[in-house]
Structure 1
Amino acid sequence: MPELPEVETVRRTLNQLVIDKKIERVSVLLPRIIQHPDDIQAFAVMLEGETIRSVERRGKFLRFMLDRYTLVSHLRMEGRYGVYRSDEPMEKHTHVVFHFTDGTELRYKDVRQFGTMHVYPKDRDLLEAPLKKLGLEPLDEAFTPEAFRVKIEKRKTKIKPLLLNQEYIVGIGNIYVDEALFLAGIHPEREAHTLSAAETAKLHEAIVETLKDAVAAGGSSIKSYVNGQGEIGMFQHKLKMYGRKDEACLTCGTAIVKTVLAGRGTHFCPVCQPLKSKRGKRETLKS
């Protein structure tokens, strides 16, 4: 699933491709993609005559800012956007087409068909599902060390599942949680409330650094991710932990362990990221 760096890369690409394009009509070829409004014809009518003014992001969601409405789009597993001339052949698995007045089209393709779209009156989307319960934006100025500490300090949840919970911190995702925890030297099974102030500050810094580096690299193309211009991300070549089971840790040379935590494949170094008991003793989780 595209995570924050991939969605941010798509957002930036779309801002180069579709800004100030006016929607003439909308073709919905797979109705279940549209989640709000319930009526597909109403969805299309709401967008007719609207101009895309900017494309923003909230967590893993894209927000197409129009004149009167906001279109919220979640790519899920394999959703992708591309801009085409109207006379170009329609590719398989194209489910929604935004026809522009200049003869070009924004096409949404989704092999797995898990993506979603919602349309609300402008800025109302932030008060409605699926955006209303989202947590802190890790690349926003409001994501300060103090705000992060307050969010997690009393939680008795293991730190990795907590970081994956979009109601606390948005958009980090499995890949980047593994990378940030390694950079901070924190075991993924540590309970959040056991982290010291120094560890919490270091984790905050690691999250921001990891995500900024990933955005700069265009995200990670682990499976099928490409941006709106068909280009793959390059951060997968910089991964120090994720996907490197049994390989040597780049810091200490110890074999990287992979386990399953909260249903997600989890990678860590048992030496660089020791699991500490409540008494402060170090323990090592068996693979």
Structure 2
Amino acid sequence: MPELPDLLYIQARLKEALVGRRVVGERLREPVVMRFAVRGNLSLLLGRRLDDVIRHAHFLVFRFEDLDLAVNPMLAGRFRLAQPDEKEERDLVFLLEFDSGVQLRYRDEKNMGKAYLLAKGDWRAAAGMQAGGIDVLSPEFTRERFVSLLKRRRDQVRLFLMDKRALDSIGNAYADEILFEAGLHPKTFCRTLSHDDAVALHDAIVKVMQEAVDEVARRAEPIDVKVRDFLKVRLRDVCPRCGSKVRKAGVRGMDAYFCPHCQPATRSGLVDWTKTGR
């Protein structure tokens, strides 16, 4: 799924390319992905000007005068800017053509994403839009507020990081990077973290996410390309810090990548990989 660095980059590129332009064409190929909270269909956008592209939680919201088109890409959704004469992708869900001659294409090979056409600001009609947590790169994300959030948690720290009702918006890739930066095992329980651990975790979140935002922007890849090759432990074999073998642990059905030496287990019952050799 697109995570915060991806969403911010995509948002900036789409604003640059499309804001101020009017919709002159539309096509919906996969109706199962689209929900309409207003009477009509995607043709309601014809002739409307795109006023802004904003991010709310894990949604990108396209503001067309009195209508919002809110898209949650989820696992496999991605956006693409294309020319009308370019061949349409097999996984195309919908496209909007603008008076500049550019098409915005939304693709999703799994059809797991969700798109909602809503009255402007009526976000109650889109599942998950009201449940967004605190923006981890905002001034409101202070150490004090984070420690307060953490004190109320009884789950594992990786699950907490990925809970979008608490924090906005961290997924598998950056959860692993944050825990590596903080030196915490992914199965550590939140309730066992000291105040110093919590502060270090907060600082790791800010550091990892801001560096990732800067790196994704610096690469300036097309918006349908995920930039992940700079990550330190996710999908890696060897720890860049100590040279140990990177291991995987299952956390609620998801693979968590970690270094057993830099992120040692903190409770009994977990495999102690440090005793198995490098």
| Shorter-chain TM band | 0.7 to 0.9
Amino acid at match of 2:9: T
SS in 2 for 1:237: coil
CA contact (8 A) 2:234 2:257 kept: yes
Partner residue in 2 for 1:49? 47
Report the Cα offset of residue 284 of structure 1: 5.9
Alpha-carbon deviation of 1:121?
A: 2.0
- CA distance in structure 1 between the aligned counterparts of 2:240 and 2:107, rounded to whole angstroms: 38
Q: Relative to 1, partners in 2 of residues 1:28 and 1:171: Cα closer, same or farther, differing over 3 Å?
A: same
Q: Distance in 1 between matches of 2:181 and 2:72?
A: 29
CA contact (8 A) 1:28 1:97 kept: yes
Is 1:167–2:165 an aligned residue pair?
yes
Which residues of 2 match residues 53-202 of structure 1 at below 5 A?
A: 53-125=51-123, 128-202=126-200
Aligned counterparts of 1:103 and 1:255: Cα–Cα separation in 2: 50
SS state at 2:135 partner: coil
- Measure the CA separation in 2 of the matches of 1:66 and 1:141: 29
1:15 and 1:55 in contact (8 A); partners too: yes
* Contact 2:70–2:116, Cα closer than 8 Å, also in 1: yes
CA distance in structure 2 between the partners assigned to 1:86 and 1:250 by the alignment: 44
1:3 CA drift (Å)? 1.7
The answer to whether the 8 A contact 1:137-1:143 is kept is: yes
Cα distance in 1 between the residues matched to 2:116 and 2:171: 22
Deviation of 1:140 (Å): 1.9
How many residues were matched structurally? 271
| Distance in 1 of aligned mates of 2:3 and 2:115 | 17
Q: 1:186-265 maps to which residues of 2 (within 5 A)? A: 186-218=184-216, 227-228=222-223, 233=227, 236-245=228-237, 247=238, 249-265=239-255
Q: State the TM-score, normalizing by the size of structure 1.
A: 0.84
**Partners of 1:46 and 1:55 in 2: CA distance:** 18
* Inter-partner Cα distance in structure 1 for 2:64 and 2:148: 35
Distance apart, 1:55 and its partner CA: 1.3
Deviates most, 193-202 or 58-67: 58-67
The question of whether the paired residues in 1 share the 8 Å contact of 2:37 and 2:119 is answered with: no
Q: 1:270·1:285 contact (CA, 8 Å) conserved in 2? A: no
Structure 1: stretches of 5+ with no match in the other structure: none
* Partner of residue 257, structure 2: 267
d(CA) in 1 for partners of 2:141, 2:225: 30
* C-alpha contact 2:38 2:119 (8 A) present in aligned 1: no
Indicate the SS of the match to 1:156: coil
Any gaps of 5 or more consecutive residues in structure 2? Answer: 274-278
| Paired residue secondary structure (2:131) | coil
Deviations 1:135-170 (A, max 9, x none): 111122221112211112121111111111111112
User: Is the 1:98–1:107 contact (alpha carbons within 8 Å) kept by the matching residues of 2?
Assistant: yes
Task: Report the equivalent of 2:276.
Answer: none
AA of the residue aligned to 1:266? A
SS at match of 2:134: coil
Deviations 1:171-224 (A, max 9, x none): 2111111111111111211111221111111111111111111122218x9xxx
The Cα shift of 1:120 comes to: 1.9
TM-score, normalised via structure 2 length:
0.87
Alpha-carbon distance in structure 1 between the residues aligned to 2:112 and 2:26: 19
2:8 paired residue number: 8
Kept in 1: contact 2:135–2:167 (CA 8 A): yes
- Check the 8 A contact 2:177/2:208 in 1, yes or no: yes
| Paired residue secondary structure (2:130) | coil
Output the aligned Cα RMSD. Answer: 2.5
Question: What CA deviation, in whole Å up to 9, does each residue of 1:56-87 have, x standing for no partner?
Answer: 21232211122112211122233222233334
